[in-house]
Structure 1
């Protein structure tokens, strides 16, 4: 799962970086990534979005399996799966380039995109926090949680700082999220088999169900 998740992150990074140079008709500082889903190279970007959606689900499910039962969080797993679903919808529902006339598909895209950000950023914080409850993963807690917190703060900065170049701030948030996902996928790839259930106490299992 870690290998597949890391591959999805790398493909997304390469494709979306490449289109910043290939799409000379778009100003990368002011144009959000959603606009690269349409017109030239749009299918490549859509495919990269779908692969990243799968990576989100793999990270959520992979860590749920790899961590001791007492440290697992079903909520974190659900948030990553929901983020993947929302990102897929974002990819297939075309954004409206004319904001004065938004159709149904544009509304779906406008709802799915921020939901994907919200689900993944919250899931990042929760999953990172749960690492501290597992002795095998505790040393990973610090860098994971700091990067998740910076990503979460950057997302709200992008949402509230309306005068900043929308493309640049959005892509900065995406890069932070990709860095966190890449790091978590790499750790998951290097991990041993999932911790056996016998290591958990009944109290620990109850605590990890949230």
Structure 2
């Protein structure tokens, strides 16, 4: 048994906080966009878009780092490659989403917009599925068992609202997407914060 370093968790936590701060600040800086109706993808275009792209990269790095750190920190019986793989795929999808521009209204659809849309959908589906699976694995580790209920509840809520947002086309596209993003980031931050505390041991 060796004490697990909290450095990866702190790196992940920093990435999530950077993303949250920049994404929230973008809502105020982009007065030309209606936060209620406009998805976050459109904030990647135009003024301050480069900052948000950098924040997306920070989110992706944090997601991949947290996934790897969680896998190594869990008891062997609680480990699963499935959430690790899904988090990694989500991280890739986040980066592609950031740099492939979305289609804009009144302009013909483009291949780049197609890539952006599918990367975003894949990232959302992968990260919420990974959250559910990882939360479920917490039951098998005594050090994480108490965290199972809140983690699984938050993951299930994010997963359900993602599908509600996807299937209910009449919902406000900006608000609905941002609520799902907020729930995902909340889960990631809470998990990274818990992992960062130096009381967990890594079993090999």
- Tell me the TM-score normalized by structure 1: 0.91
The worse-fitting range, judged by mean Cα deviation, of 97-106 and 35-44 is 97-106
Q: SS in structure 2 opposite 1:132?
A: helix
Write out aligned runs for 1:59-208 (5 A).
Answer: 59-98=66-105, 100-192=107-199, 194-197=201-204
Structure 1 unaligned residues grouped into runs of 5+: 198-210
Aligned counterparts of 1:141 and 1:50: Cα–Cα separation in 2? 28
Query: What is the root-mean-square deviation of aligned Cα atoms in Å?
Result: 1.1
1:34 aligns with 2:41: yes
Shift of 1:160: 1.2
Shift of 1:193: 5.2
Once the two structures are superposed, residues 155-207 of structure 1 have per-residue CA deviations (whole angstroms, 9 ceiling, x without a partner) of: 0111011111100000000001111000001011114454222xxxxxxxxxx
* 4+ aligned runs moved over 3 Å, structure 1: 191-194
The worse-fitting range, judged by mean Cα deviation, of 41-50 and 183-192 is 183-192
Shift of 1:100: 5.0
| Cα pair 1:65 1:194 within 8 Å, conserved | no
Task: Figure out how many residues of one structure are paired with residues of the other and give that number.
Answer: 197
Partner residue, 1:200: none
The worse-fitting range, judged by mean Cα deviation, of 69-78 and 97-106 is 97-106
Q: SS in structure 2 opposite 1:111?
A: helix
- Tell me the TM-score normalized by structure 2: 0.94
Aligned counterparts of 2:189 and 2:12: Cα–Cα separation in 1? 8
Aligned counterparts of 2:177 and 2:125: Cα–Cα separation in 1? 13
Partner residue, 1:202: none
Structure 2 unaligned residues grouped into runs of 5+: 1-7
